[in-house]
Amino acid sequence: MEKGYFITGTDTNVGKTWATIALMRYFKSLGKSVAGMKPVASGCIMQDGQLKNADALLIQENASLQIDYDLINPYAYELPVSPHIAGVNNPVELDQLIARFELLKTLADIVVVEGAGGWYTPLNEQEANSELAIALALPVIMVVAIRLGCINHARLTYQAIKQSDVDCAGWIAVCTDPDLLSRDETINTMKAKLDAPLLGVLPYKELADFDFFSEQLNI
């Protein structure tokens, strides 16, 4: 494998999956083979006798090759709550996630791993997304939803990433609020405050246009 990335967000519902798919298509456009992974997902629905997550299915669909769902989303929980609560009867084991990631690394040039929720979202009673990112030894890309309060959330999340002693490759701005005032000024403020490159701005769209989004990225 040439490289992979761990995708984290400043909160839940900030556009991590849209950014993940955009990244996958970006690297595919460069001629790379790409796989994706959503190791832990809550709010899954029963499909073909198996709990599956809509975001994980989208990641599976956008891979360069056919990959079994279990490899992409090893822990799929029905309740739409934090994984350490949803998985009380089947808690996340980091060793299992690492093993599946190592297998994905043998299948593609680049593996994009989407974390669950934010940097400190608990995966089980002891470990959070931060421990998973450290264990996978991947550079981190932070996804920021451009909305009121995002400057504070972005700076706090970036500080936490740096304190975890992992490499932050940069951040992606996802414009989630079409009515936000001073959007460009908000993004420019974060560019000045964050010691990490802005990798792209995904404009507001009601429906995802992943090819268009991928064209907005520069990694």
Catalytic residues: 38
Name the residue among 120, 118, 17, 26 with its Cα closest to residue 72.
Answer: 17
> What is the distance between the alpha carbons of residues 6 and 12, in angstroms, rounded to a whole number?
15
Name the residue among 200, 136, 194 with its Cα closest to residue 173.
Answer: 200
Alpha helices in the chain (DSSP H): 16-29, 54-61, 69-72, 83-86, 94-105, 129-136, 150-163, 183-193, 210-215
The torsion angles phi and psi of 34, rounded to 5 degrees, stand at: -130, 140
In this structure, the strands spanning 140-145 and 110-118 are unpaired
The torsion angles phi and psi of 133, rounded to 5 degrees, stand at: -60, -40
**SS3 category, 105:** helix
